[in-house]
Amino acid sequence: MPLERYREGLKVVRDAARRAGRDPESVTPAMWCYVVIDEDPEECRRLLASPMIRAFTLTMPYYAFEELGYKHPLGEKAVPFSDYVPTRYGKEQVLEALEKVPVEVCERYTLNGTPDDIIKKLEEYAKAGLRHVVLWNITFFGDMKKVRPSFSAMSKVLEYIKGRVP
């Protein structure tokens, strides 16, 4: 989720808590996100363009594509997270849709970069209110040779996070 949308969404949640008579601070601001991580930023870009990483991004709603000037590969008002059932599509349809997923959409809707890049982005979310994060390392879906190096890079991010937990 882009940082600005996170800020806006958190404000909506806190306002709703107030209206419901709850302490807005009793709600733990959290985020779950896909992570594509590598020590080499160019390698991250290559991985983001891979078919499997694009497949994850294909589940994003139509407006995720529209806000970057693209049409969703599955249709103008696609809400594929709930509507996309791969068995309802032929192999050629899916491969064609994956080819149409722009790397820019993959970049925007994954937490991606070097460990330092990821840490910097997480700090920005923390300033916006984030207090709990779930990171799903999908790097190796882009290249199976990245299993070990991606988890090694993730360990740097997790060490940072653990160092910040009270």
Whether 18 maps to a domain, the answer reads: no
26-74 confidence digits (pLDDT tens) = 999 999 999 999 999 999 999 999 999 999 999 899 999 999 999 999 9
- Tell me what pLDDT residue 165 has: 64
Whether 108 maps to a domain, the answer reads: yes
User: What is the spatial distance between Cα 149 and Cα 155, in angstroms, rounded to a whole number?
Assistant: 10
Whether 14 maps to a domain, the answer reads: no
C-beta of residue 142 within 8 angstroms of C-beta of residue 110: no
Q: How many domains does the chain have?
A: 1
Centre a 10 Å sphere on the Cβ of residue 26 and count the other Cβ atoms it contains.
7
User: What is the spatial distance between Cα 84 and Cα 11, in angstroms, rounded to a whole number?
Assistant: 30
Task: Give the CB-side neighbour count of residue 138, counting CA atoms within 13 A.
Answer: 22
Collapsing DSSP to helix, strand or coil, 57 comes out as helix
Whether 93 maps to a domain, the answer reads: yes
Whether 20 maps to a domain, the answer reads: no
111-164 confidence digits (pLDDT tens) = 999 999 999 999 999 999 999 999 999 999 999 999 999 999 999 999 999 887
Checking DSSP bridges between strand 30-37 and strand 111-113, what pairing results, if any?
Answer: parallel
Whether 21 maps to a domain, the answer reads: no
- Tell me what pLDDT residue 79 has: 81
Whether 17 maps to a domain, the answer reads: no
Whether 120 maps to a domain, the answer reads: yes
C-beta of residue 21 within 8 angstroms of C-beta of residue 140: no
pLDDT at 21 over 90: yes
- Tell me what pLDDT residue 164 has: 75
In which domain, by residue range, is 72 found? 3-9+26-164
User: What is the spatial distance between Cα 127 and Cα 54, in angstroms, rounded to a whole number?
Assistant: 29
